[in-house]
Chains A and B, each alone.
Chain A
Amino acid sequence: MKASAGGYARAESVGHALELLAAAEGQGRVLAGGQSLIAAMNMRLSVGDLLVDISKISDLSGVAVGDGALRIGALTRHAQVGSDPLVNVHTPLLRDAVSHIAHAAIRNRGTIGGALAHADPAAEFPACALALGAILHVDGANGARSVAAEDFFEDVFTTALNEGELLTSITVPVAENGEVQVLEEVARRSGDYALVGLCLVKRSAGHRIALFSVGPKPILAKGAMAALDAGDLDAAVESLSAEIDPPSDTQASAAYRRHLAGVLLRRAVARLKGDVA
């Protein structure tokens, strides 16, 4: 189908982007890598958008480390995240996630900020942000603010971003000594959205488990985390099963997804222990 956009403007700076969004009277849509938005427009799921193209704002892109955290610009492409040496050292979970995201052409265009702001419940990066305890940095007409990942994802394609706000970067605590980060997912085909995916981070403070494709938004499985902290894997699997309310669709039923979540947790824990399944 042919898209029906309401208009297009290229933002020269973050300030300019915010001005354009403010002038769009609620019809503004941020265009970054376009890998979800353009597809939705071409399916006429989204019509009449005033596109604010931020893709040329160079200071929104790139990775830097400082103050115990890794800062990743919102415009950093998936492929860049996957190959960045700082990401490789400090947040290997994000590196590993990239290999599961779609296909090379999409990874070359899609951006981490776009993936987080789009908040697809089946996407890898939002769950990674949850598991890592990332902070999302947002700019808007009323100034900049920071939102913890746990407060950012609200519902299907719905986040704490207000109308007219722009996600500019995320910061992720650098991995401490001995920290292990594992991502497990099962998809029908390589590059497909996961039927269920699971991120497991083991820190001195305890385990963090985030899941995707198990409900309207990525979730932090706190009961399972507590059980794992207590060293009881069976209890963690049982708790996990109660903590998620996965959907049924043409690819798999809720019951299958619930079963799979338990399998993935066991596999992730095995990998923590160095047993390669």
Chain B
Amino acid sequence: MTIPFNNPDRPNSYIGKTVPRPNAAKLVQGRGRYVDDIVLPRMLHVAFSRSPVAHAKIGTFDLEEAKAVKGVVRIFTGADLAEVCTPWVAVLAHLKGLKSPPEHPLAVDRACWVGEPVVAVVATSRAAAEEAASLVVVDYEELPAVTDTMTALDADTPVIHPELGDNLAFRRLHEEGDVDAAFKSAHKVVSARFRTARHTGVTLEPRSILVDWNPAEGQMTAYHATQAPHMMQTVFAKHLDIPESRVRVVCGDVGGSYGIKVHVYPDEVATAAIAKVMGRPIKFIADRLESFSTDIHARDHEIEAKIAVDEDGKILAIDVDDWTGIGPYSVYPRTSAIEGNQVVNLCGGPYDFANYRAQTTVVFQNKTPTCQYRAVGHPIAVAITEGLVDMAAAAIGMDPVEIRRRNMYADDAYPVTSPAKMRFEGLSHHASMDKLIEMMDYDALRADQAEARKHGKYRGIGIASFIELTNPSPFMYGIGGARISAQDGCTVRMDPDGSVVALSGVTEQGQGTEAMLSQVVAEGVGVKPSKVRVITGDTQVTPYGGGTWASRGAGIGGEAALQAARALRDSILGVAAAMLQTDANKLDIRDGQVVDADTGEERMPLEELGRIVYFRGDTLPKDLPRELVQTRHFITMEYPFAFTNGVQASYLEVDPDTGVVTLLKHWCVEDCGRVINPQLVDEQIRGGIVQGLGGALYEEIHYDEDGQLLNGSMADYLVPMAAEMPDMQIAHVETPTKESELGAKGAGEAGTAGAPAAVMNAINDALRPLGAQVTEMPFTPERILRALGKIND
């Protein structure tokens, strides 16, 4: 069931409005509290000596010179930490066949990627620890490195983990309908080879952790820049042999995460292990340079795919063969098979067709491990699907908008199950497309494109429809055995001054979670958002929950907050009714006042109610419940995921002499169900689009064939910057989920999901008159000129 939030004149109407972010002033004034701002008595710093080679047997250590550096307190090797920390194996039961070897906080016997932590140096300052780390001598006996994905399974390729038998981590084939028959009889078949580059998230605040072990209390406190405090509580407890109840994870301000900070990193676990051994607080702040080789990478896929259509442009079949290399270990505890699995789940997503085959092959390599990064698998699946649809449209001479309209699920078709067996509760592909076409003035843009071409300018329009997976249920991780909560909770309480405190299990990483929670609670209770203080990110304080990832903060955490707030409202009105000698249902709370529900007449400020309850409770009836604290939890039950949908468009110009792409404008219409805070949602979409544009045009981690990272710095790994970003126009269609009263689905990843495909299609639209096509991201000037045949080697 949902409740209507559409009436803007209703009392306490904060849901659906842009309200100020409660933490914005703190952050812009530099008063945030990030992990690196925390200094504890007797604190030490750890820096790591990391493998300089992609694959090597670790021989002897010479630590004498490092120990001699002033300020060095202790040095740990993999064997030292293996005594106090058990290794982990990142597999999940529902990802059948997924295998991965045990991984230690510091490499034991063998180093498997450039950047893997091998020796930890603890010192009184980061500078001293780094100086000593640079003097650590390790005898590396180099082993052959596996770096190419497509040949990782060949018989003559060395096996990275001989005990696993081969380099195959995971393979999944999904088949629906009669794909071969559909291709055989099709009017037109188009095939293409796609490539998405290896990316990383480049968070503004690097990975950060400060761990304090108090042996007197037997308690570990980890101040951690993480998206999932409760998950990390479990991880530290399990592998460091501490009762879960004795691990507290505190997650204060976090400077961006994008999925990078939802994983277990060996150097962070090593920091915790060292803190426990030494009984002193240990801080590790990843350096920007080591971030490039140790933050998870993502999106390194190579795909062969084809589509079959009939004369009318109806999609008959899609066939996808996806390959990805994930580094030497599946990443704990979410695993590195999810991204490939998502590609299988999401290809063809917007379209009503019958015959679908997709296989993902996930292989080990000697590179930085890959795992979930914003919009996991979506940019890949959307690029494959939307690239194929555009190519099919061109092959039969149909407009790209028209072919989509002929194939997208009808807006009244729901609920439906896709050929990938994804269940959609309610989507709005056609309404979203209509809105997009109107917003971008598609026909005028086509006229502008034609006019520009007369002047020798090659402009292109690219469309990309997409679906986005949000609000995951236990079907994402819990079902496979991971202790990652799909449920989330919120405790809301009223204090004596009538202000409200909300404690939530979802976390804030800069996207505005706390603003969203404050307005949901404000509306639910009936106070101004400024009267709500939101507390997140402390496992000892907040209700148990999953944290913020997979676009679940608003849809899951927001609903728990709404339920708790409404429960508190009911408690308050119960007390007020007794005090005012009336029925609770004749009262309401508006702007912090108990009012007459019909007339709006003010009956009592909440401060007065608070004063009576907390200080003169003796004056209330003896049996009157006066619980001004309420907790509610929420979990989705009916659908494994709340799918959202949307469509993006890109308009750009390609310089056929230099290959440079200039982005002219970008549009996105997105349906995330209930929009709680329009500005926050729009900016999340824009930020997501920027990350997608980065993947389309700039971002690519390069390795040489020996597994050396070639561009691990901000000078060489090109992230999208303001000067190149186009104006972005955002609009919404709202199809609330019926699973919750709030009706919110996720919005955090939609921008990233669709933007690369929109740009690819726009570039190819521009290049089509020149007979060229690009499908390998990023679309660098060089790749475009090579497609145009203008480069002579």
Contact = CB atoms under 8 A, between A and B. Distances in A.
Interface of A: 1-2, 4, 43-44, 186, 188-193, 195, 250-253, 255-256, 259-260, 263
A251 B716 contact: yes
Interface in B625-674: 657-660
Nearest to B287: A1
B791 A259 contact: yes
A43 B288 CA distance: 10
A189 B782 contact: no
A191 B781 contact: no
Given A188-B698, A251-B716, A2 B130 contact: yes
B674 to A, nearest CB: 37
B216 interface: no
B203 interface: no
Contact of A44 (B134, B718, B720): B134
Contacts of B134: 44
Contacts of B658: 186, 260, 263
Contact of A186 (B287, B723, B781): B781
A250 B702 contact: yes
Interface string B699-731: 010100000001101011010110110000000
B780 A252 contact: yes
Contacts of A252: 780-782
B790 interface: yes
Contacts of B723: 189-191
Contact of B782 (A2, A43, A256, A263): A256
B60 interface: no
A44 B718 CA distance: 21
Contacts of A192: 718
B698 A2 contact: no
Contacts, number: 63
B131 interface: yes
A213 B186 CA distance: 51
A256 B785 contact: yes
Interface of B: 126-127, 130-131, 134, 287, 289, 657-660, 698, 700, 702, 710-711, 713, 715-716, 718, 720-721, 723-724, 780-782, 785, 790-793
Given A43-B289, A253-B793, A195 B781 contact: yes
A250 B709 CA distance: 11
B716 A255 contact: no
A192 B723 CA distance: 11
A263 B790 CA distance: 11
Contacts of A195: 781
A74 to B, nearest CB: 24
Nearest to B703: A250
Contacts of A2: 126-127, 130-131
Contacts of A44: 134
Contact of B785 (A1, A251, A259): A259
5 contacts: A1-B289, A188-B698, A189-B698, A252-B781, A256-B659
A253 B792 CA distance: 11
B237 to A, nearest CB: 33
B133 to A, nearest CB: 10
A192 B717 CA distance: 11
B127 A188 contact: no
A46 to B, nearest CB: 13
Contacts of B700: 250
Interface centre among A189, A190, A192, A195 (most CB of B within 10 A): A189
Contacts of B780: 188, 251-252
Contact of A191 (B710, B721, B790): B721
A192 B724 CA distance: 12
B679 to A, nearest CB: 27
Given A4-B127, A251-B780, A255-B793, 18 more contacts: A1-B130, A1-B289, A2-B130, A4-B131, A43-B289, A188-B698, A188-B780, A188-B781, A190-B723, A192-B718, A250-B700, A252-B781, A255-B791, A255-B792, A256-B781, A256-B785, A256-B791, A259-B791
B782 A188 contact: no
Nearest to A256: B782
A49 B724 CA distance: 37
B173 to A, nearest CB: 35
Given A2-B126, A43-B713, A250-B711, A190 B721 contact: yes
Contact of A190 (B127, B702, B724, B791): B724
A190 B131 CA distance: 35
Contacts of B718: 188-189, 192, 251
A259 B790 CA distance: 8
A188 B700 CA distance: 13
A145 B40 CA distance: 56
Nearest to A39: B715
A253 B793 CA distance: 9
A146 B361 CA distance: 64
Contacts of A189: 698, 718, 720-721, 723-724
A200 to B, nearest CB: 17
A89 to B, nearest CB: 28
Nearest to A277: B657
A69 B437 CA distance: 59
Given A255-B793, A263-B657, A263-B658, A250 B710 contact: yes
B496 to A, nearest CB: 49
Cβ-closest 8 pairs across A and B = A190-B723, A2-B127, A256-B782, A250-B702, A250-B711, A255-B793, A263-B657, A255-B791
A260 B793 CA distance: 13
Nearest to B711: A250
Contacts of B127: 2, 4
A253 B782 contact: yes
A263 B287 CA distance: 40
Nearest to A241: B792
Nearest to A190: B723
A43 B781 CA distance: 29
Contacts of B710: 250
Contacts of A251: 716, 718, 780
A20 B168 CA distance: 61
B779 to A, nearest CB: 11
Contacts of A263: 657-658
A2 B69 CA distance: 15
Contacts of B721: 189-191
A43 B287 CA distance: 10
A255 B785 CA distance: 11
Nearest to B660: A186
A233 to B, nearest CB: 14
A201 B485 CA distance: 67
A4 B129 CA distance: 12
A103 to B, nearest CB: 9
Contacts of A190: 721, 723-724
Contacts of B785: 256, 259
A26 B304 CA distance: 57
A192 B75 CA distance: 40
Nearest to B704: A250
Nearest to B659: A256
B729 to A, nearest CB: 22
